[in-house]
Chains A and B, each alone.
Chain A
Amino acid sequence: MDGDILEFIRVKDVSKQYKNGVTAVYDLNLKIKKGDFVFIIGGTGSGKSTLIKMLYREEKPTKGEIIVGGLNVAKLRNSKVYKLRRKLGIVFQDYRLLQKSTVYENVAFALEVIGTKKEEIHEKVLKALELVGLKGKLRNYPDQLSGGEQQRVAIARAIVNEPKLLLCDEPTGNLDPEKSMEIMKVLEEINNATGTTIIMATHDKDIVNKMRKRVITLKDGRLISDEEKGKYHNEAI
């Protein structure tokens, strides 16, 4: 590996063409430092979701190289994907919670499946739920929570294993502006408190403009701008 230790994620000459012939990403090059908070913006079909999916190895790039925390993601075999997933947390627009499990069980699930000790699970789950402000709703089921609260449970599940990287694919897509800002506050707090690198795909203009973070803009699968403390570019839509 060539490099500076701060270079946590490296995307080199990556293209992605889906089996149906659609090319979602063209020749993309990116470097992301440890502890960064990065927005990836762009309209529908800009390739931002594809990029996120390639980072957690749901999709494989057709061409190029993706390194996440020293792991060559593009070359990772299906049976080894779990090694990558344990290093990162993922949050989706649709929360993806287990409806038949309580808030506590949902967050604990992420630790149980990797074989963590019971006492350690208890301690970490409470810590994560406290961080997202849901310590009072341990025994509630997801359908008893608001959308914003459900998303905070999903965030707690994503960070409970203390990952180095948190990927968020339109986490505020289903929420009203007020709830969206609450989620952003939680994410910023996580970023500040633990130094977790956060990459968030969004098309929410207000959020991007308020947060003043690094903004990577994609259009039709190509990188069109990459700015520190950037703003939402209208041509991205």
Chain B
Amino acid sequence: MKPFRMFVRSIRDAFKSVFRNFSLSLASISCISITLIIVAIALLASLNINNFAKMIKEDVTIVVFVDREVEEAGIGVIRAKLDQISNISTITYKSKAELREEMQASSSMLEATMKDWSEEDNPLKDTFQIKVEDIEKIDETASTIEKIDGIDSVNYGETMVNKFLAAFRMVEKGTILAVILLIVVTVFLIINTIKLTIFSRKREISIMRLVGASNFSIKMPFVIEGMILGVIGSIIPILIVIYGYYAMYRHFGGQIFSPLIKLITPEPFIYLISLVVLVIGILVGMIGSYQAVRKYLKI
């Protein structure tokens, strides 16, 4: 009963002091808001970049050319062997006849040269088009496939894929680092702003100590106050995330430069980001208050 009573009092005192010290509260709230906006933008950007990377990775295909001598039964054997390789997600078989039709259909020039070929003349090879699960291991998978009997060659644009991979790794690391740095800077900034708020209430804290309030019950209202500041401070950033991202998505029509680079669809993405922003706001407010009040408690 007693802890509950003190908890309720802490909440009441926290609300009271947010409004009694409104100008200082406003300073903390705007500090939280501004930094959360930057964090939110960084989050939106980095998640979208990761999404582009993922989509481009998914588009990478290994093309396996089968020896011309391999008969239809042999194709089945090769397929069975491919099925056993662990890193492969999908296998699509295309016979040379199918490929020929596809190529003929794709341009009139090809149509003109290819239409006279007899079945035996077809210089194309039967192929498997393979997508992998983990693109980092694509080299390994390709060389395993190449060793299978009856495989003529394997092609996946090695140099380009490797360059892409290196670039993605850098972008991923860079964006994660940027977000973490921003959050750390935000925490420091907020700790200092809240310190100012609490500095003006040093007297109150010293009187609480004097009359025998435990450290925990002194900290409690301040931590709850920090939480309230965090919640209020994240309102504007959340609105910006929701409306801003919708506006941007509509402006670009959901893609940047080419249909290959698609933006993440707004729902439920923006709600997720809003939740993350709210949680960061609350945590940062609480940690800021806790750290600031600790200074006056001689712990």
Contact = CB atoms under 8 A, between A and B. Distances in A.
B209 interface: yes
B211 interface: yes
A185 interface: no
A129 to B, nearest CB: 16
Nearest to A111: B211
B206 to A, nearest CB: 8
Contacts of A84: 212
A153 interface: no
Interface string B3-46: 10110010000000000100000000000000000000000000
Nearest to A112: B9
Nearest to B12: A112
Contacts of B20: 100
Contacts of B6: 115
Contact of A78 (B2, B3, B297): B297
A85 B217 contact: no
Interface in A70-104: 78-79, 81-86, 90, 96, 98, 100
A109 B207 contact: yes
Contact of B5 (A90, A100, A115): A115
B50 interface: no
B213 interface: yes
Nearest to B213: A113
A56 B212 CA distance: 11
A231 interface: no
Contacts of B9: 112, 115
Interface residues of B, number: 23
A85 B298 contact: no
A96 B2 CA distance: 27
A82 B214 contact: yes
Contacts of A114: 211-214, 217
B210 A78 contact: no
Interface string B189-226: 00000000000000110111111111101100000000
Nearest to A56: B210
Interface residues of A, number: 22
A83 B2 CA distance: 16
Contacts of A117: 5
A109 B210 CA distance: 11
A97 B207 CA distance: 8
A98 B212 contact: no
A85 B212 contact: yes
B215 A79 contact: yes
A157 interface: yes
Contacts of B206: 96
B299 interface: yes
Contact of B299 (A79, A83, A161): A79
B299 A85 contact: no
B2 A157 contact: no
A98 B210 CA distance: 13
A216 interface: no
Given A98-B204, A100-B20, A161 B212 contact: yes
A110 interface: yes
A100 B207 CA distance: 13
B3 A115 contact: yes
Contacts of B203: 96, 98
Interface in B32-86: none
Contacts of B217: 113-115
B2 A82 contact: no
A113 B211 contact: yes
A29 to B, nearest CB: 27
A82 B212 contact: yes
Contacts of A82: 209, 212-215
6 contacts: A78-B298, A83-B212, A84-B212, A85-B210, A96-B206, A157-B211
Given A78-B299, A115-B5, 7 more contacts: A85-B211, A96-B210, A113-B211, A113-B213, A113-B217, A115-B3, A157-B211
Which 6 pairs, one residue from A and one from B, show the smallest C-beta to C-beta distance? A113-B213, A85-B212, A86-B212, A110-B211, A115-B2, A115-B6
